[in-house]
Amino acid sequence: MVGKIVVSLVSLILLVGVIVGVVVVVNKNGDNKEDQNSAVQMKKVHEFCQAAEYKDACAKSLEGVAKNESATISDYLMAAFQNTVEEVKKGMEEAGKTNVNKDSDPYNHMAVDDCKQLLQDAVDYLEDALALVGETDTESLHEYTYDLLNWIGGVYSFQTICLDAIDKPEYKSAIEKGLTNATQLTNNAINIIAKMSEVLKSFNIQIPEGLLDNTNSSPHRRLLEVNKVDQDGYPTWFPAADRKLLDKSSSKGKGKGSKGGAIPNGGAPLPPLGSGPIIPHAVVAQDGSGKFKSIMDAVRAYPPNHQGRYIIYIKAGIYNEQVLVDKKQPNVFMYGDGPGKSIITCDKNVFISKYTTFSSATIGVNSDNFIAKGLSIRNTAGSQGHQAVALRISGDKATVFDCSLEGFQDTLYYQTFRQFYRNCMISGTVDFIFGKGSALIQNSEIVVRKPMENQKNIITADGRELNDKITGVVLQNCRIVAEKEFFADRLKVETYLSRPWKAFSLNVFIESDMGDFIRPEGFMKWSDDPKEQYQNTCGMYEYANRGPAAATNARSKIFKNYKVLSPQEATKYTVGTFLQGYEWLPGTNAPHYLGLGGK
């Protein structure tokens, strides 16, 4: 009996040992599985953040999604954007806490108010990006590379514009500190989106071979990388017939004055207002023959939730007022009786009136799909007012044609997103075409005026801050001339094509006629400050220019990335590629051509 008990106890001990061993093995295997899953997730985070400049900030923003074993690339993008939204809102809270006395410091009071608006715009576009990613299946994300880069690039610019305007540290420092994480995460988002194809491949997502929908009928881009070209060096949207024309013209070895091959318009543009006559929603006339005497009153009459174009006809007359088109007022079309007839003017400026550059604009547009035609838009502050904007646009897909934009310093502010200018006259002195968006000015007259004593004239000053942004300014087939009143003294004043406002400034001059008063070196550096040696990193490019100042052999040697472009390289900066204009410009009724050598 005792023996049986002993045997039973031994058996029980052995059984317990087996169970314990099994449990230990199971737990050990479970730990290994958790470790393996953790390693897989960390690998995903590492690969997703590989392109980011601020990798620690990127990884931290993904802590939540990294715990989800089934998380997709869309989940990672959503987490990155959502965290950026939250950080921008923190910056907004700091701006909201910053109070500046309007009477004692009107400039910084306005600058802080501008900042609040700009950060709200940043949040709105980030939320648009979130919605786009959330509504798109993973395999189709690559189709929206351009859209996302366009929007997130604008978000980054809104943040930097907000901080640039505030000039007193006691107001600026708290907002700047509150935005530190936001600017880093936005920077990261741009880096990651620009390398979207590599990120998708690291998540084992197969990318279709077609880079772009060549039918031009789809609203989406099939891009692996922005501005990708084929094996012949042309953008993928270029029709075969146009390639032959361009190759033929290039093979003839034409000189600097050549305009290259003729690139057709790609079909008659679609009228934006239907096939019948234009019927405006609002008529503005100073003589009482319209419904409104003020343009701003006509803008305020924009109906809530209006669908389609909102058309404002501005009859001949001089309208001394500031006009602001709100972000919630898209698709505004303003047209007049022609430049010199329908004139909108004011004299707000930075130096005398104590307005910010942002708020000094005679017309300020914050909404998408804005069109202006047949107007003179002036800022009459004069050179003594310093920064004084005639037209500022921060909405996407803006079109301005058959207009006159008149000012001195900072005349045209292409603040953010895509903008197209055609058959315009743009006049000014210092940095009079400047901004942080993507602006292409085609077939226009660039008129240089007489500046203040000891000032230099500079035509463009682009503010691209990051190398992966798709922004910059392009002048194509323009005439650069001296104003009649300045002509006699034109050689007494130093006049330059461009200077870089920010580190990766992009300024491109193609197929344009350059007057004899442009300095042979072409470009000047931004400043002597060691922190602002942007000539080392910016892009200054030329292609097939003509006229007395078109010779490139004496261009400034301090610009390390200066380049005379080949025809294939120049197509990157044409309407079709740079603005994706084949998609939206036909609907504006504005004349345009997509490639090189058009008329």
Q: How far is CA 33 from the centre of its chain?
A: 46
Alpha carbon distance 540, 462 (integer Å): 10
End-to-end CA distance of the chain: 112
CB 386 within 8 A of CB 349: yes
The Cα–Cα gap between 375 and 315 comes to 10
Q: Are 432 and 412 in contact (CB under 8 A)?
A: yes
How far, in Å, CA of 116 to CA of 88, rounded? 11
Phi, psi of 577 (to 5 degrees): -90, -50
**What span, in angstroms and rounded, lies between the C-alpha atoms of 222 and 96?**
41
489 is catalytic: no
Helix residue spans in 236-282 (DSSP H): 240-251
Continuous H helices in 383-537: none
Distance CA(92)–CA(117), nearest Å, equals 9
Catalytic-labelled residue, pool 431, 462, 468, 513: 431
Distance between CA atoms of residues 430 and 445, nearest Å: 16
Give all strands of the β-sheet with 418-422 in edge-to-edge order: 282-284, 310-314, 332-336, 371-373, 398-401, 418-422, 438-442, 472-476, 506-510, 539-543, 563-564
Please give the angle made by the CA atoms of 144, 419 and 576, to the nearest 5 degrees.
60
- Cβ atoms 331, 282 nearer than 8 A: no
Which positions are annotated as active-site residues?
431
